């Protein structure tokens, strides 16, 4: 995960909080939060290789398919749940968002933006986009529900999910005034802090 993205998420996580990271990958984000924010963290991952990497880092991790439910975590009272670069891989993103906000007071979601201008050019030329945020060809990708910044914010409105904060990143993984003025066209990635209304 890019340093800037980690920094944004870290700023939103309170010190000494209880955090669950869905699709935690190799556990790098949780390890950073454990070190800098002294959190009690748990990861959820389906990839065996990534689970081994979490264990090697000392990150508690559970093997679980998020699409099959999150019921075993319901009584855990997390402060923050995180889903970084995973929501577009789920069968039902809206259900996942609502479940996350039942498990925790707030959630952090990051997603690639299909509305980014280079993606639009690829689509206009008849090809599915391949970018650093969407690195796999259409036949190799785990992404099944790609969306734009506007699509995601419309879903939040429909589901009565409050956007507490948001940050948009450019192709270099940085914030800029230009990107924040037209994120649906210029941002490669959106980073959101969400609460239930």
**What is the overall mean pLDDT for the chain?**
90
The residue written with tokens 């060809």 in the block is: 137
Which residue did the predictor score with more confidence, 5 or 192?
A: 192
* pLDDT, average across residues 122-134: 86
- What pLDDT, on the 0 to 100 scale, is given for residue 1? 61
pTM of the full predicted structure? 0.91
CA proximity to 133, closest of 167, 170, 183, 180: 170
Residue 48, SS3?
helix
Question: Given a cut of 90, is residue 67 above it in pLDDT?
Answer: no
Cα separation of the two ends of the chain: 29
Cβ neighbours, 10 Å, residue 102: 12
Q: Which two tokens stand for residue 28?
A: 């790098």
Structure-block tokens of residue 130: 């391949």
């Amino acid at each position: 995960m890019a340093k800037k993205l980690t920094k944004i998420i870290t700023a939103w996580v309170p010190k000494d909080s209880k955090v669950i990271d869905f699709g935690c990958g190799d556990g790098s984000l949780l390890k950073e939060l454990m070190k800098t924010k002294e959190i009690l963290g748990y990861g959820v991952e389906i990839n065996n290789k990534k689970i081994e990497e979490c264990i090697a880092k000392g990150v508690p991790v559970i093997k679980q398919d998020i699409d099959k439910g999150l019921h075993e975590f319901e009584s855990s009272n997390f402060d923050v749940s995180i889903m970084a670069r995973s929501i577009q891989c789920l069968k039902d993103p809206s259900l996942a968002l609502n479940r996350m906000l039942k498990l925790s007071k707030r959630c952090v979601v990051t997603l690639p933006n299909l509305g980014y201008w280079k993606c639009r050019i690829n689509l206009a030329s008849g090809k599915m986009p391949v970018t650093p945020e969407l690195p796999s060809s259409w036949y190799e990708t785990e992404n099944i529900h790609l969306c734009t910044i506007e699509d995601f914010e419309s879903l939040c409105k429909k589901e009565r999910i409050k956007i507490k904060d948001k940050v948009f990143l450019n192709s270099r993984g940085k914030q800029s005034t230009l990107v924040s003025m037209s994120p649906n066209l210029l941002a490669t990635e959106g980073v959101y802090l969400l609460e239930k209304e």
